């Protein structure tokens, strides 16, 4: 087989985004950032003032939702219903709302359906929380990226600082832990490791080292 489905799951800040983009580039695959899809739904929920328990409204919203990813040299654009929302979906407010929106079964069903359609032909790297367990349980390659909460908080903090945000390291670590807890505790598709996933702890590894380990595994499966 040549065009594989590669699943990358793990908690926030473990390096999923960076590594799935790098891996997709290396193999010339499409990179699907499923977190950005849930973030996009959350942004629209916020903008339209939809109540989280209004399943009908959530269903309507997801039904008409068009999400596209545009890859640039070293960045990626997320286009929702024709609008570039790349920056808006990354604010702390939207991050917090996303974990709540992602707990809705209606929203998950709609997103999983879109993800399966986008990935059906293979030649894709999907990153998220439930790719290897729910979306593509038969994916040829599954990774589970891990790192300590302190290290993940530190990475997020530096990212936000670089963007000029006024943030505090301890608070950022607390937020990372809160989001982990919400992602693991929810009833529908909680964050869990697939039994057949290759687990990589990136706490003490550089991006290049992790990428190297991952691409070696992908090449063996091709």
36: nearest Cα among 70, 64, 3, 72: 70
* Strand partners of residue 31: 125
93 or 222: whose CB is closer to ligand C5P? 93
Q: Quick count: other Cβ atoms within 10 Å of Cβ 61? A: 19
185 or 219: whose CB is closer to ligand C5P? 185
The answer to whether the annotation marks 165 as part of a ligand binding site is: no
Span between the terminal Cα atoms of the chain, in Å: 6
Contacting residues toward ligand C5P, per CB under 6 A: 12, 34-35, 38-39, 98-99, 102, 128-130, 179, 183
12 or 31: whose CB is closer to ligand C5P? 12
Tell me how far, at minimum, the Cβ of 169 lies from ligand C5P, in Å.
18
Residue 23 contacts residue 142 (beta carbons within 8 Å): no
Residue 53: CA atoms inside 13 Å, Cβ hemisphere, count? Answer: 0
Residue 47 contacts residue 53 (beta carbons within 8 Å): no
Residue 143 contacts residue 69 (beta carbons within 8 Å): no
The answer to whether the annotation marks 128 as part of a ligand binding site is: no
The answer to whether the annotation marks 14 as part of a ligand binding site is: yes
Tell me how far, at minimum, the Cβ of 222 lies from ligand C5P, in Å.
25
Tell me how far, at minimum, the Cβ of 34 lies from ligand C5P, in Å.
4
Tell me how far, at minimum, the Cβ of 131 lies from ligand C5P, in Å.
6
151 or 183: whose CB is closer to ligand C5P? 183
The answer to whether the annotation marks 40 as part of a ligand binding site is: no
108: nearest Cα among 203, 184, 38: 38
The answer to whether the annotation marks 13 as part of a ligand binding site is: yes
Tell me how far, at minimum, the Cβ of 56 lies from ligand C5P, in Å.
21
CA dist 184 and 178 (Å) reads: 10
207 or 222: whose CB is closer to ligand C5P? 207
Known binding residues are 10-18
């Amino acid at each position: 087989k040549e065009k594989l489905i590669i699943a990358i799951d793990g908690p926030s800040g473990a390096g999923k985004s960076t590594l799935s983009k790098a891996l997709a580039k290396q193999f010339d695959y499409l990179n699907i950032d499923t977190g950005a899809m849930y973030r996009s739904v959350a942004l629209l929920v916020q903008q339209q003032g939809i109540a989280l328990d209004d399943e009908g409204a959530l269903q309507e919203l997801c039904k008409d939702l068009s999400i596209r990813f545009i890859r640039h040299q070293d960045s990626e654009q997320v286009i929702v219903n024709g609008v570039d929302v790349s920056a808006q979906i990354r604010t702390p407010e939207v991050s917090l709302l996303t974990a709540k929106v992602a707990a809705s079964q209606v929203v998950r069903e709609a997103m999983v359906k879109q993800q399966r359609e986008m990935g059906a032909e293979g030649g894709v790297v999907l990153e998220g929380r439930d790719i290897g367990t729910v979306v593509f349980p038969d994916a040829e390659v599954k990774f589970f990226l891990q790192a300590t909460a302190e290290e993940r908080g530190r990475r997020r903090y530096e990212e936000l600082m670089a963007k000029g945000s006024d943030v505090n390291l301890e608070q950022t670590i607390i937020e990372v832990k809160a989001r982990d807890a919400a992602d693991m505790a929810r009833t529908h598709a909680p964050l869990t490791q697939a039994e057949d996933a290759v687990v990589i702890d990136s706490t003490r590894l550089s991006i290049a080292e992790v990428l190297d380990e991952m691409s070696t595994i992908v090449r063996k499966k091709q």
